[in-house]
Structure 1
Amino acid sequence: MDNISNLSTLCQCLRLLDIGQYRSDLDDHRAKQLFVGSTIQLHVVGQLLNLRSYKQIAEQLHAHKTLRKLTKLKSISASALSRKTPKLCTSSLQALFVGLVKQIQALQQGKSPRALGKLCLVDATELKLPLHLSGWAYCSSSKQGVKMHTRVVVDRSPTVFPDRIIASTADVNETEVAVELVTHPDAIHVMDRGYQKHEHFEKWTEQNLLFVCRIRESTRWIVRRDYRISKADKSFITFDQKVILNKCKVPVRLVVFEDEHGRCYHVVTNCWNRSAVEIAQIYKQRWLIELFFKWMKQHLRLIQVFSYSPEGIWNQMYLALIAFALCRLIHLRTQTSKTVWDVLQWIRIYAHAQWKVFQEALHRKPTRTSRGRQVVDRPPKEAQVLKKIIVK
């Protein structure tokens, strides 16, 4: 990295965004102090430090001189920040997120590729909203909310990161946005049952877009050919067939397998050059996107929103993604062996310490060298009782 060891950790994170002086001709037309660039910086600070209100963000600025110097703000009120947030241009936040993703992709080029190749995991997570504050997100008399349709890239070990989202109200079905997310020509797209649409399967096959999608067990199909399953694989691979799905003309491959808990999965794919075991392993990787959603909701401010307007919620989604991308970028740049969650925790602990102190903490080796309590094979209870009798 550059010679910035004397900067605080938080300031270095904001420098990676490179938007401190950004002003929007439209949104900053009458602004005198709080511009778009500094507003985004303050919100990223809120995400990284888990600040729960505009008031806490404003107080954070008031408390630290280095932050005021970087944002070029002497002070700001919570109400001013509240008014500015919905006015942020969502497309600008999207462009900022895409720029960070490109940096992540460039840094992971030297990493070893995964054995299963490049995967794009596609799924959606739902955020519930209060019934009396978000009538625009109406779904039913008892439900209002939004969805974040997400594509997560799993390419080179151990990097996992999102590269695109589509925000919508909760009543938008996954199949309606699937075509916009299944676009990578050099990756296998992995999806759950919510994305089952036979028209899309035909279209993706014609476009040479690879997919692995779980289907409902009630789906009808016609078997065209049975593929041989080795004895070693028969323990968990039930069927490997070439089939024609209901109301379809293009054949697909059906793989039926069981997991270690005996649950049965029906998966269709247009990957013909992979073994049935590999197809099952590829589908199991879909769980990584569920872990990503859990990470975002637990560690960043995604569930509790600052604003209940559509623009405010869309902006908060991208601000949370920008914070995650920053953590992943720092994780790759520092080449630490710690996890991304560890990096975020260390940012929060060393936020106002010097960058070099933060780096030393990331690379500090554990002082405890003990292997911990080891499992020792003990003789059965009968032998112990017998030994006591003999001793007596």
Structure 2
Amino acid sequence: MKNSNRFLSFLQSLLSPETVAQAAKNAGYEDTSRQFSVHWLLEFWTLSAVHRWKSYRSGADLAQSAGLKSAHYSRISTKAAEVPYSVLKELFHRLVSQKNRRFRRQLAFPKELLLLDSTTVTVGETRLPWAPYHGKKAGIKLHVALRETQHVPEKVEETTGSVHDGPISDQLVHPDFIMIMDRAYGKLERLDRFKTSKQSYVVRLRDNVNLHEPRSLRRHPSEASNVIRDISCQLGTPQNRSQERHWVVMFKDYEGREFEWLPI
């Protein structure tokens, strides 16, 4: 009971009932229930995660002993289903922004790494008919920009599974970070835009990218280095070539495989 009150107090310090109510209002959701509000639902979910309640039914039996108002499990399930996803997304971004403010004052320090990637979840086509994916499957995709040092998401975007990663990266980039991306994000026009806007980034190049007019860069050689090649060049063919010259580093990993990365 004591630990439960501590978690509920901590949650309220981050997301007060007024903050949650405002997020619901912004989403056009009318939270008419005074006893079982969206904030109450967040408290229930928090304690469910802390105590590892197995289901709404078991949670309903234990909620009162954990410091929450009791509710029938069907009431909890109905509330969870009716609260729009947009409310929870706004609250999530509020939590992330509050945590990140503690570190943003360190602007004179070297930039942090921000890792960009996505995860696709697939189900049968009848489960999500509005999100066709491949064949008889439907899918949704979560695009995440993750702060490497804190393991905290900076931003999250959701799409259907068929949406390509590259265009979504424009919504996830941040000038205060060094963006770390795989080759799905390496469109030439996007890389040129990153360079002209002084966006720091590192991206793995596709295997078939042509390196035009390579020039070796001066660097101090090291016997322990796994760097094979260190050049500047334009990227692509005459039909589709970058306007800017980019820095390309080729290296071997610990298994002897060769990779080309584009750092700036």
What TM-score range do you get, normalising by the shorter chain? 0.7 to 0.9
Q: With structure 2 as the length reference, what TM-score do the two structures score? A: 0.83
State the match for 1:180 in structure 2.
171
How many angstroms does 1:85 deviate by?
Answer: 1.9
Q: Which runs of 5+ in 2 are unaligned?
A: none
Partners of 1:87 and 1:7 in 2: how far apart? 26
What do residues 236-264 of structure 1 show as CA deviations (whole Å, max 9, x unaligned)?
Answer: 10111111111211111110011112121
Partner residue of 1:104 out of 79, 96, 99: 99
What do residues 296-348 of structure 1 show as CA deviations (whole Å, max 9, x unaligned)?
Answer: xxxxxxxxxxxxxxxxxxxxxxxxxxxxxxxxxxxxxxxxxxxxxxxxxxxxx
State the match for 2:260 in structure 1.
266
Percent identity of paired positions between Structure 1 and Structure 2: 23
- Tell me the secondary structure at the aligned position of residue 39 of structure 1: helix
* 1:61–1:151 CA distance, 2 compared to 1 (3 A): same
Counting matched residue pairs gives 253
State the match for 1:150 in structure 2.
144
- Tell me the secondary structure at the aligned position of residue 176 of structure 2: coil
Partner residue of 2:162 out of 161, 171, 176: 171
Partner residue of 2:88 out of 85, 89, 93: 93
Which structure ranks higher in relative contact order (CA pairs < 8 Å, sequence separation ≥ 6)? 1
How many angstroms does 1:48 deviate by?
Answer: 3.4
* More helix as a share of residues: 1
State the match for 1:43 in structure 2.
45
State the match for 2:122 in structure 1.
128
State the match for 1:326 in structure 2.
none
Indicate the RMSD between aligned Cα atoms, in angstroms: 2.8
1:171-250 matches, within 5 Å, as: 171-182=162-173, 184-232=174-222, 235-246=225-236, 247=240, 248-250=242-244
Task: Work out whether residues 124 and 136 of structure 2, in 8 Å CA contact, stay in contact via their aligned partners in 1.
Answer: no
Partners of 2:254 and 2:164 in 1: how far apart? 31
Q: Which runs of 5+ in 1 are unaligned?
A: 272-392
Answer with 1 or 2: which has the greater Rg. Answer: 1
State the match for 2:248 in structure 1.
254
- Tell me the secondary structure at the aligned position of residue 168 of structure 1: strand
* 1:223–1:51 CA distance, 2 compared to 1 (3 A): farther
2:75 corresponds to 1:80: yes
Q: With structure 1 as the length reference, what TM-score do the two structures score? A: 0.58
Task: Work out whether residues 27 and 87 of structure 1, in 8 Å CA contact, stay in contact via their aligned partners in 2.
Answer: no
Task: Work out whether residues 31 and 37 of structure 2, in 8 Å CA contact, stay in contact via their aligned partners in 1.
Answer: no
Moved more, 225-234 or 200-209: 225-234
Aligned-partner residue type, residue 46 of structure 2:
V
Task: Work out whether residues 191 and 214 of structure 1, in 8 Å CA contact, stay in contact via their aligned partners in 2.
Answer: yes
Partners of 1:187 and 1:32 in 2: how far apart? 42
- Tell me the secondary structure at the aligned position of residue 145 of structure 1: strand
